[in-house]
């Protein structure tokens, strides 16, 4: 079962920041928080991941609370093309030698973000 | 750099038949994972191959199988198709190292009639 809880759906106005919350209250100390999104009829796309520090890349920012029990994905200036299902995933680290979970992600139901003009 | 390529894009089969789906990972990637996506169950992990060896398997019946070739290309096979096997089958590749992000293909949409 997924270890995260996300709202089923959210709306955001085009050009505004989209803030997508995720609860992961049972996260272990060595588990990372990953975000992927899936645009209709495409495969999921990696967005960002982090352990405990806030992270930023060209797509988004990830804010993880100090107790690590929740996080927020921020799309700073949402566009219509950001309309998608966003998945928050908690995942243990893996190693290249003998690891059994490098390619395994446990997806929940995600949040459907609708960006409106 | 080419992305993950899955063929065919669409497939229609009838109950009882078998099907083989193909996945070509990103060049240099050694790990290939397969997922099934349905409206009811969402995205579910099927199995992962690394250097031609299956190293993890999800909770699916034995009718679902796969393999990986020396060039890292992978195939998955579903035998004795059932109506419930209708789904989008997604393949993802990664180098196989610690905390690598997965790169997904666009999937094969399988319809079982």
Task: From first to last of the 113 residues of chain B, give the pLDDT tens digit.
Answer: 689 999 999 999 999 999 999 999 999 999 999 999 999 899 999 999 988 999 889 999 999 999 999 999 999 999 999 999 999 999 999 887 666 789 999 999 999 99
Residue percentage of chain A with pLDDT more than 90: 77
**Mean pLDDT of all residues in A73-98:** 86
Q: How many Cα atoms sit within 13 Å of A54 on the Cβ side?
A: 9
The DSSP symbol for A5 reads: B
The DSSP symbol for A26 reads: T
Q: Is the pLDDT of residue A77 over 80?
A: yes
Q: Which of A54, A57, A48 is nearest to A66 (CA)?
A: A54
Smallest CA–CA distance from A85 into chain B, residue:
B42
Q: What gap in Å lies between CA A84 and CA A74, rounded to an integer? A: 14
Q: Which of A44, A82, A19 is nearest to B106 (CA)?
A: A44
Q: Which of B31, B1, B32 is nearest to B21 (CA)?
A: B32
Whether A100 sits inside 8 A of B55 (CB atoms) is yes
Q: Is the pLDDT of residue A100 over 70?
A: no
> Tell me, what's the pLDDT at A29?
85
C-alpha pair distances (Å), B1 with each of A75, B4, B28, B55? 26, 10, 10, 27
Choose between B51 and A1: higher pLDDT.
B51
> Tell me, what's the pLDDT at B97?
64
Across A46-50, A98-102, B107-111, least confident range:
A98-102
- Given pLDDT bands bounded at 50, 70 and 90, which one contains residue A3? confident
> Tell me, what's the pLDDT at A101?
64
Q: Is the pLDDT of residue A38 over 90?
A: yes
Whether A104 sits inside 8 A of B92 (CB atoms) is no
> Tell me, what's the pLDDT at A30?
83
Whether A103 sits inside 8 A of B48 (CB atoms) is yes
Q: Is B73 helix (H, G, I), strand (E, B) or coil?
A: coil
B104 vs A contacts (CB less than 8 Å): 42-45
Check if A101 contacts B (Cβ < 8 Å): yes
């Amino acid at each position: 079962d997924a270890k995260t809880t996300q709202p089923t759906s959210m709306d955001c106005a085009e050009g505004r920041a989209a803030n997508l919350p995720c609860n992961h209250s049972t996260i272990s100390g060595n588990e990372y928080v990953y975000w992927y999104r899936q645009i209709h009829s495409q495969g999921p796309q990696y967005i960002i991941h982090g352990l405990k520090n806030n992270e930023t890349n060209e797509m988004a920012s990830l804010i993880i609370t100090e107790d690590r029990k929740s996080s927020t994905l921020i799309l700073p200036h949402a566009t219509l093309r950001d309309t998608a299902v966003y998945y928050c995933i908690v995942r243990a680290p893996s190693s290249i030698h003998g690891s059994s979970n490098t390619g395994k992600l446990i997806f929940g139901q995600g949040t459907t973000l609708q960006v409106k003009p | 750099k080419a992305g993950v390529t899955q063929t065919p894009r669409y497939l229609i089969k009838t109950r009882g038949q078998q099907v083989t789906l193909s996945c070509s990972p990103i060049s240099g990637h050694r790990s290939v994972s397969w997922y099934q996506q349905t409206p009811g169950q969402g995205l579910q992990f099927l199995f992962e191959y690394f250097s031609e060896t299956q190293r993890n398997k999800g909770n699916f019946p034995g009718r679902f199988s796969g393999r990986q070739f020396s060039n890292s290309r992978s195939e998955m096979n579903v035998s004795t198709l059932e109506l419930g096997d209708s789904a989008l089958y997604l393949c993802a590749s990664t180098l196989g190292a610690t905390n690598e992000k997965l790169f997904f293909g666009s999937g094969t949409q399988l319809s079982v009639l």
